[in-house]
A = this chain, B = another copy of it.
Amino acid sequence: MTDTTACELAITRLSTREADFDTRLESLLAWEGVSGHDIQQRVDDILAAVRARGDAALIEYSNRFDRLAVTSMIELTLGPARLRQAFEGLPEAQRAALAAAAERIRAYHQHQKPESWRYTEADGSVLGQQVTPLDRAGIYVPGGKAAYPSSVLMNAIPAHVAGVREIVMVVPMPDGVLNELVLAAAHLAGVDHVFTIGGAQAVAALAYGTETVPRVDKIVGPGNIYVATAKRAVFGQVGIDMIAGPSEILVVSDGGTDPEWLAMDLFSQAEHDEDAQAILVGWDAEHLAAVETAMAALLPTMEREPIIRESLRCRGAVILCTDRDEAVTLINRIAPEHLELSVADPDAWLPSVRHAGAVFMGRYTAEALGDYCAGPNHVLPTSGTSRFSSPLGVYDFQKRSSIIHCSSQGASTLGETASVLARGESLTAHARSAEYRIKK
């Protein structure tokens, strides 16, 4: 591959032909969101305080961490009217865009709704599965610089589509500042209450409940290391979504997409934060060089240039592979959060993609479209966790109950089998309970 010369872009270059490729790729991808003992301890203290003292602790922490001077929870509570007001106060273009996005997200997630089912056996026994929504979901929304209205839509709409009875949102209000777009999104997404609290204290309030904040059944949404640590700690008391790592994209190009388009797609990932990861893979060295040249040329024009530069330098990469098959191997090795298949016939690739949070197919499908309004969720498994987890979806706000209804004949037949197996496990009360139902 070409060396960095004229262009000022620093980015790691790898080739699958190099002997140490696997090791270098491994270290490029390595990410462990471990919270140190210190953070763990502070989070534990906050959780214990909110659990013990409820609203009083919430008010104290909010005053301290968000630099407020509130004296009651009323000042940290926003009702539906305030959310509607935020929506109605938006400029027309933003209102229309937000509503269009919400509508598309809702339409997509409607397809995820599973049905309850049951079947009847020959002896009259019925087996099945009943699907029910959560009673109450809590949505964590970061405040400050990472306050994203699109995240409100992506987290709350699936809950709403799932039929959750009550959706509670928390969003911190640092220095008393609220983001009107965030509140407007909450209005559109079907959020019932908003509490302007954040950090580990907000997670504690949702997990345990306070005099004012109702206990929820599941907490979803991104947050900083304190929020992530708190979510991990309350997991079990309540459900949580995945603990998210930095956002990442893997762009695979066959050489036929405009290098400027690809450069900007990579930038759109890198601009999230310095830890974000943008990787380009291809087997056409000249094309890869052209994308690098485009990146170098476009970078000075970017509003978030310092972040993009740092992200590309620390965690970005351009990987030259030998052919399409090797690109597929890389996809499944990396198991990316976002996969852009910028190739002529992406449908031919899809069956061999085993692990990816979301697949953006073809030259037109910029990842950014999926972040906002294509319809699918933008909350996706990061750091290779698409090996075992899924985009946030309606299924995260529902649960299943098994249904078993034995006929007297069914209970008799099954009782014979259960009796043998239970005795094999020395669980004789199990055996005798089954045997009572065996017909003499």
Q: From residue A153, how far is it (CB to closest CB) to chain B in Å?
A: 9
Q: From residue A409, how far is it (CB to closest CB) to chain B in Å?
A: 9
| Complex copy number for this chain | 2
Query: Which segment, of A56-64, A281-289, A426-434, faces chain B?
Result: A426-434
A369 to B432, CA, bound (A): 11
A418 to B420, CA, bound (A): 62
- Asked whether any CB of chain B lies closer than 8 Å to the CB of A101, the reply is yes
Q: Could you list 16 examples of A-B contacts with CB < 8 Å?
A: A94-B421, A100-B417, A129-B376, A181-B424, A239-B389, A267-B429, A268-B430, A304-B429, A308-B429, A359-B401, A360-B404, A364-B406, A366-B433, A368-B433, A374-B406, A391-B401
- Asked whether any CB of chain B lies closer than 8 Å to the CB of A98, the reply is yes
- Asked whether any CB of chain B lies closer than 8 Å to the CB of A425, the reply is yes
* Contact (Cβ within 8 A) B373 A97: no
* Contact (Cβ within 8 A) B433 A261: yes
Given contacts A371-B430, A424-B94, contact A404 B135 (CB under 8 A): no
A contact face: mostly helix, strand, loop, or mixed = mixed
A236 to B101, CA, bound (A): 30
Contact of A399 among B150, B302, B389, B418 (CB under 8 A): B389
- Asked whether any CB of chain B lies closer than 8 Å to the CB of A15, the reply is no
Query: For A417, what are the chain B residues with a Cβ–Cβ distance below 8 Å?
Result: 97, 100-101, 372-373
Query: For A101, what are the chain B residues with a Cβ–Cβ distance below 8 Å?
Result: 417, 421
Nearest CB to that of A351 among chain B residues?
Answer: B130
| Binary B-proximity of A38-79 (CB < 8 A = 1, otherwise 0) | 000000000000000000000000000000000000000000
Nearest CB to that of A272 among chain B residues?
Answer: B427
* Contact (Cβ within 8 A) B402 A132: no
* Contact (Cβ within 8 A) A369 B411: yes
* Contact (Cβ within 8 A) B129 A111: yes
Nearest CB to that of A418 among chain B residues?
Answer: B372
Q: Which of A363-398 contact B (CB under 8 A)?
A: 364-377, 380-381, 383, 385-391, 393, 395
Q: From residue A41, how far is it (CB to closest CB) to chain B in Å?
A: 11
Query: Which segment, of A3-11, A112-120, A190-198, faces chain B?
Result: A112-120
- Asked whether any CB of chain B lies closer than 8 Å to the CB of A408, the reply is yes
Contact of A391 among B235, B381, B402, B405 (CB under 8 A): B402
Contact of A425 among B149, B265, B425 (CB under 8 A): B149
Query: For A218, what are the chain B residues with a Cβ–Cβ distance below 8 Å?
Result: 388
